[in-house]
Structure 1
Amino acid sequence: MDIHALKRQGMTISEIARRTGHDRKTVRRYLNGDRVPGVRKRAEPDPFDAFVDYVTARLNEDPHLWVVTLLDELEPLGYAGSYQSLTRQIRLRGLRPACTACAHVTQRPNAIIEHPPGEETQFDWLELPDAPTGWGFPTKRAYLLVGSLAHSGVWRGVLSPSMDVPHLLAAMTTLLALLGGVTRVWRFDRMATVLNPVTRDLTPMFAGFAKHHGVQPVVCRPRSGNRKGVVEKNNHTAAQRWWRALPDGLTLEQAQASVDAFARRQDERPRRTETGNTTAKAMFAAERLRPLPPVVFPVVVAEERTATRQALIDWRGNRYSVPPELAAAKVVVQQRLGADTIDIATTSGTVVARHRVVEPGLGVTIRDTGHVAALEAIAMASAPPGRPHRRKERIPPGPAALRAAQVLTGTGQPVSTVISLAAYEQAAKNRNTLR
């Protein structure tokens, strides 16, 4: 800036060089624009120059291409730089173009969607990785069905081991009871348990469930997930503020009580309306929710369990007995919504036990008297004869071991076997006679 200012004052290059202490050739390069202040010319060529064309072409083809994927493609071509160097070169050179196909998602105009009280409930699954093994889920994932009232933003969640249709309907039944009623519309994304991906019609069981509650299910259009932004934001809150800090050692019932308490605390969060500031709890008081049906929708929830060696299975925080023949075997537990009994069947579908369920999470054991008697009979019949050995019992070497030790030490006479050759001799004589 000083060199250009001095030049505008009419000074010559020699006078500017003497005043600034720079060489005349340096001053001339700055005045001609050959050099830029703060940017030094590399003493050697930049090795990344050879890869600029390839990187530019790949990012033009796929603007969302991961840099680590690009690094995997460049290494066989001779690129020896690191991941950090590659990201720096792409950023400084501006090689990644803006994706015009995706620009409308974030840059398009958004309208504020009005949600009258009692109009809409939004549902969505939240996948929770690394579920505790003590919950008895078939995989290491748990699922939280979140239901949010679109007007007030009040939400509740129900933990589930699966996202299939029976578990969806069972979780929705519990969730609607937590919310205290139903709205006119239920909104979902395009999940296969609600909408058949081939026919684009509601699945038969879910259609019957919606008809049972007298509501209208609505499925969002493709790439229009922001239409149910209320439940999406609540999912994000539940994942980052509840699941992320959930302590270890909780049972499934304790975790469900924890998410219930967390959701109720969220009812106190402030909300801004046209009439002023309020809370979600105050807006929930204005929700016009219709009462739940007097009868629960008939759906059977089935889950696979592995019986213990004591012929017991875990179900909702309690243990129930099975026939002793199924100890350590896989069984299927079935419960109808609203029923106070469970059926335990084999994997082929044969029901082998039925128990009256108790309150979940009590940790009690329910045994059938017939199962107890049969288990004791089998255990006694399979017990080995005689008394078992004690851990510190003295058992010195016996006669057989002492005889073997004498043979090894040479203090005893080894047993030898004598083979008579008379029969072989007689056979040889008869052979010579025949000749």
Structure 2
Amino acid sequence: MHVQIEVTTEIEIKQLEDLIKYKELMENLNMKINKSKLGRDLGVDRRTVDRYLSGKDLEKKRVRASKIDPYYEIILDLLSDKTPQTFYYKKVLWQFMKDHHGLECSESSFRRYLSTKPECQAYFSKGQRVPNPHVVVRYETPPGEQAQFDWKENVPYITSDGEKISVNIGVLVLGYSRFRTYGLTLSKSQTVLMSFLTESFEGLGGVPQHLLVDNMKTVMDEHRTKYNRGIVNERFNQFAQDYGFEVKPCIAGRPRTKGKVETIMKLLDEIHAYQGMFTYEELHDFVQKLNTRHNQTFHQGNRKIPLLAYKQEKSHLLPLPRKDLRDSYKVKMSHVKVNPASMITYQSNQYSVPPEYKGKTVQLQTYDDHIHVYHNTELVAVHTISTKVLNYKEAHYIEVLGHEMPSYEDAEELAKKNLMTMDEVYKID
């Protein structure tokens, strides 16, 4: 009988854990181990070699607790189906945890932590985007030459009182500095667009030479294509002439042409992290806070902070037209006084505002079937224009009862009952 035996004649020592096998071999050969030489070869002290050879008190890799671990359950809850909130990007979740749960760590550490948690990584991986197959040519413009505009449109949002609305965010970004302005609105009408641009130009203190837009109906009568220059509609063309800028429509189907404004759109997905948490008025304030934060944050594209770069760009902008011309493009504003019942009057019907504005003068903007109530520059209430005599928001009425009847235990229940009664009394047949 012939048995082939495989004999190992070499042993390779790559790491400290291999020393046990090496010790067995040397003992079988009755040879002495040179611990100092092993230490030099492995880059460790000879005493470390001795511990591994003895098999006692071996060093183990220490698993350190992460400073993010105490937030793990909160993170899981936010990513679960228990909340209406949605986090499209890890960056948004990181910012939310910083703002509302006191998390203190870098964004890169947070992203790395989530990547080690399969249940968290799966949440973000399921919506991974397919890489753009087109070659994108980087294009920069000198100061004051170009601004880009677009809508973050039809964003579904659930308000804190459970109302489902669809909001839009206008975004204007200067090409050189990446300084931007945001505006939350319920409408994308041409009147709203020109009012937003007017207020943005006033805020910037000047006008860019060119405005890059897509083929939206409020700007273009005929789309620009690869073979057609397109036609800007008459009213918007007049608006551009009054302000002195040239309209530059993108070729249809090429959103990457206005990539500077397109990249901002994913940043605005942060509002989904606040689903069910804000009223419309509070959402308006939050969008403005986002605007300020983004303008103060280092931009990876041009390696500048937009706010600081804007100070260099401002002097290159075209001058604003005269005030009366600018005012003609703004949504009309009227002034009314809030009555003792915390209501304002519009077309013989009354609409509520928070009770702290009783006796004060507020400003009304009415467009696209909505009344927007401002106190100075703060949006304090939004109502749909109605044929009802009394139009109370439940939250406002509860506040009013709280002021008038501070000792009443269940103001919310009483408010609902009273509002139902008023609707019945003032119902128009």
The answer, yes or no, to whether TM exceeds 0.5 is no
- Higher relative contact order structure (alpha carbons within 8 Å, sequence separation ≥ 6): 2
Which is greater in Rg? 1
- TM-score normalised by the shorter chain: which range applies? 0.3 to 0.5
